[in-house]
Protein backbone atom coordinates (compact mmCIF):
# COMPACT_ATOMS: atom_id res chain seq x y z
CA UNK A 1 0.00 0.00 0.00
CA UNK A 2 2.97 2.30 0.61
CA UNK A 3 3.93 2.18 -3.04
CA UNK A 4 0.40 2.82 -4.28
CA UNK A 5 -0.01 6.36 -2.88
CA UNK A 6 3.20 7.82 -4.38
CA UNK A 7 2.44 6.11 -7.70
CA UNK A 8 -1.10 7.51 -7.70
CA UNK A 9 0.23 10.99 -6.91
CA UNK A 10 2.81 10.67 -9.70
CA UNK A 11 0.15 9.52 -12.17
CA UNK A 12 -2.19 12.27 -11.03
CA UNK A 13 0.57 14.86 -11.43
CA UNK A 14 1.39 13.54 -14.91
CA UNK A 15 -2.29 13.60 -15.88
CA UNK A 16 -2.60 17.11 -14.51
CA UNK A 17 0.42 18.24 -16.49
CA UNK A 18 -0.96 16.68 -19.68
CA UNK A 19 -4.35 18.28 -19.09
CA UNK A 20 -2.71 21.67 -18.61
CA UNK A 21 -0.50 21.20 -21.69
CA UNK A 22 -3.54 20.10 -23.75
CA UNK A 23 -5.52 23.20 -22.80
CA UNK A 24 -2.57 25.43 -23.61
CA UNK A 25 -1.86 23.71 -26.95
CA UNK A 26 -5.54 23.84 -27.97
CA UNK A 27 -5.49 27.60 -27.48
CA UNK A 28 -2.27 27.95 -29.46
CA UNK A 29 -3.65 25.79 -32.28
CA UNK A 30 -6.84 27.87 -32.48
CA UNK A 31 -4.79 31.05 -32.66
CA UNK A 32 -2.54 29.59 -35.39
CA UNK A 33 -5.60 28.55 -37.38
CA UNK A 34 -7.02 32.07 -37.00
CA UNK A 35 -3.78 33.58 -38.27
CA UNK A 36 -3.89 31.27 -41.25
CA UNK A 37 -7.49 32.25 -41.96
CA UNK A 38 -6.56 35.93 -41.70
CA UNK A 39 -3.73 35.44 -44.21
CA UNK A 40 -6.10 33.62 -46.58
CA UNK A 41 -8.69 36.39 -46.29
CA UNK A 42 -6.01 39.01 -46.99
CA UNK A 43 -5.01 37.07 -50.09
CA UNK A 44 -8.65 36.98 -51.21
CA UNK A 45 -8.95 40.71 -50.56
CA UNK A 46 -5.92 41.45 -52.72
CA UNK A 47 -7.33 39.34 -55.54
CA UNK A 48 -10.67 41.16 -55.32
CA UNK A 49 -8.88 44.53 -55.38
CA UNK A 50 -6.87 43.48 -58.42
CA UNK A 51 -10.05 42.31 -60.16
CA UNK A 52 -11.75 45.61 -59.28
CA UNK A 53 -8.90 47.52 -60.88
CA UNK A 54 -9.00 45.29 -63.97
CA UNK A 55 -12.78 45.73 -64.20
CA UNK A 56 -12.44 49.51 -64.20
CA UNK A 57 -9.58 49.41 -66.70
CA UNK A 58 -11.58 47.13 -69.00
CA UNK A 59 -14.62 49.39 -68.73
CA UNK A 60 -12.48 52.46 -69.50
CA UNK A 61 -11.05 50.69 -72.55
CA UNK A 62 -14.51 49.61 -73.73
CA UNK A 63 -15.85 53.12 -73.16
CA UNK A 64 -13.01 54.59 -75.22
CA UNK A 65 -13.60 52.01 -77.94
CA UNK A 66 -17.33 52.85 -77.95
CA UNK A 67 -16.62 56.57 -78.25
CA UNK A 68 -14.23 56.01 -81.17
CA UNK A 69 -16.79 53.79 -82.90
CA UNK A 70 -19.38 56.52 -82.36
CA UNK A 71 -17.12 59.15 -83.87
CA UNK A 72 -16.49 56.91 -86.88
CA UNK A 73 -20.24 56.35 -87.30
CA UNK A 74 -20.99 60.07 -87.16
CA UNK A 75 -18.16 60.82 -89.61
CA UNK A 76 -19.38 58.09 -91.97
CA UNK A 77 -22.90 59.53 -91.91
CA UNK A 78 -21.60 63.03 -92.64
CA UNK A 79 -19.53 61.65 -95.52
CA UNK A 80 -22.49 59.70 -96.92
CA UNK A 81 -24.71 62.74 -96.63
CA UNK A 82 -22.12 64.84 -98.43
CA UNK A 83 -21.70 62.26 -101.18
CA UNK A 84 -25.44 62.08 -101.78
CA UNK A 85 -25.72 65.82 -101.85
CA UNK A 86 -27.84 66.11 -98.70
CA UNK A 87 -27.35 69.47 -97.13
CA UNK A 88 -26.97 69.59 -93.36
CA UNK A 89 -30.51 70.79 -92.75
CA UNK A 90 -32.56 70.56 -89.58
CA UNK A 91 -33.71 66.92 -89.92
CA UNK A 92 -30.18 65.67 -90.69
CA UNK A 93 -28.75 67.69 -87.79
CA UNK A 94 -31.49 66.35 -85.52
CA UNK A 95 -30.61 62.75 -86.45
CA UNK A 96 -26.92 63.49 -85.82
CA UNK A 97 -27.74 64.94 -82.38
CA UNK A 98 -29.88 61.94 -81.47
CA UNK A 99 -27.15 59.59 -82.63
CA UNK A 100 -24.57 61.49 -80.58
CA UNK A 101 -26.82 61.35 -77.52
CA UNK A 102 -27.40 57.60 -77.89
CA UNK A 103 -23.70 56.96 -78.37
CA UNK A 104 -22.89 59.02 -75.28
CA UNK A 105 -25.45 57.10 -73.24
CA UNK A 106 -23.92 53.81 -74.42
CA UNK A 107 -20.44 54.98 -73.41
CA UNK A 108 -21.67 56.14 -70.01
CA UNK A 109 -23.48 52.83 -69.46
CA UNK A 110 -20.22 50.98 -70.12
CA UNK A 111 -18.42 53.22 -67.61
CA UNK A 112 -21.16 52.78 -65.02
CA UNK A 113 -21.15 49.00 -65.46
CA UNK A 114 -17.41 48.98 -64.78
CA UNK A 115 -17.84 51.18 -61.72
CA UNK A 116 -20.56 48.93 -60.29
CA UNK A 117 -18.46 45.82 -60.87
CA UNK A 118 -15.42 47.44 -59.29
CA UNK A 119 -17.42 48.63 -56.28
CA UNK A 120 -18.77 45.12 -55.72
CA UNK A 121 -15.26 43.69 -55.82
CA UNK A 122 -13.95 46.40 -53.49
CA UNK A 123 -16.74 45.60 -51.04
CA UNK A 124 -15.80 41.93 -51.30
CA UNK A 125 -12.20 42.84 -50.46
CA UNK A 126 -13.32 44.78 -47.40
CA UNK A 127 -15.49 41.90 -46.23
CA UNK A 128 -12.58 39.48 -46.65
CA UNK A 129 -10.37 41.70 -44.51
CA UNK A 130 -13.04 42.04 -41.85
CA UNK A 131 -13.51 38.28 -41.82
CA UNK A 132 -9.77 37.83 -41.36
CA UNK A 133 -9.62 40.32 -38.50
CA UNK A 134 -12.61 38.60 -36.89
CA UNK A 135 -10.79 35.28 -37.13
CA UNK A 136 -7.75 36.83 -35.43
CA UNK A 137 -9.90 38.07 -32.59
CA UNK A 138 -11.50 34.64 -32.19
CA UNK A 139 -8.04 33.06 -32.21
CA UNK A 140 -6.77 35.38 -29.50
CA UNK A 141 -9.86 34.65 -27.43
CA UNK A 142 -9.34 30.90 -27.88
CA UNK A 143 -5.72 31.20 -26.82
CA UNK A 144 -6.75 33.20 -23.77
CA UNK A 145 -9.39 30.55 -22.99
CA UNK A 146 -6.70 27.88 -23.34
CA UNK A 147 -4.54 29.69 -20.81
CA UNK A 148 -7.44 29.99 -18.40
CA UNK A 149 -8.21 26.31 -18.95
CA UNK A 150 -4.59 25.46 -18.22
CA UNK A 151 -4.58 27.48 -15.00
CA UNK A 152 -7.98 26.11 -13.99
CA UNK A 153 -6.85 22.53 -14.60
CA UNK A 154 -3.70 23.19 -12.61
CA UNK A 155 -5.54 24.64 -9.65
CA UNK A 156 -8.23 21.95 -9.64
CA UNK A 157 -5.74 19.13 -10.13
CA UNK A 158 -3.39 20.57 -7.53
CA UNK A 159 -6.20 20.76 -5.01
CA UNK A 160 -7.27 17.19 -5.77
CA UNK A 161 -3.70 15.93 -5.45
CA UNK A 162 -3.24 17.77 -2.17
CA UNK A 163 -6.47 16.30 -0.88
CA UNK A 164 -5.48 12.81 -2.05
CA UNK A 165 -2.01 13.12 -0.47
CA UNK A 166 -3.58 14.19 2.80
CA UNK A 167 -5.56 10.91 3.07
Q: Which residue has the higher pLDDT, 8 or 155?
A: 155
The answer to whether 147 and 24 have CB atoms below 8 angstroms apart is yes
Q: Over pLDDT 90: what percentage of the chain?
A: 47
Q: Give pTM, 2 decimals.
A: 0.68
Angle at 115 between CA 112 and CA 119, to 5 degrees: 140
Q: What is the mean pLDDT of residues 121-134?
A: 94
Domains held by the chain: number: 1
DSSP state for residue 121 in the 8-state scheme? H
Angle at 60 between CA 59 and CA 62, to 5 degrees: 60
> Diameter of the chain by CA atoms?
124
Least confident of 51-60, 81-90, 107-116: 81-90
DSSP state for residue 2 in the 8-state scheme? T
How far is the C-alpha of 113 from the C-alpha of 124, rounded, in Å? 17
DSSP state for residue 85 in the 8-state scheme? T
Per-residue pLDDT band for 19 (boundaries 50, 70, 90) equals confident
Q: Is the pLDDT of residue 86 over 70?
A: no
The per-residue pLDDT for 3 is 62
Per-residue pLDDT band for 165 (boundaries 50, 70, 90) equals low
CB neighbours of 55 closer than 8 A, spacing ≥ 6? 114, 117, 118, 121
Domain of residue 108, residue span: 4-166
Per-residue pLDDT band for 15 (boundaries 50, 70, 90) equals confident
The candidate with the shortest Cα–Cα distance to 146, out of 56, 21, 55, 5, is 21
Amino acid sequence: MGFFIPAAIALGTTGLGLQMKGAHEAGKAAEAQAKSQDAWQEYNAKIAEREAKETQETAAFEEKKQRKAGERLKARRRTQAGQTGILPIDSFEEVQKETATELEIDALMIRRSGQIGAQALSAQAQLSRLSGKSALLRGKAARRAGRFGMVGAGLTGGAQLAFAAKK
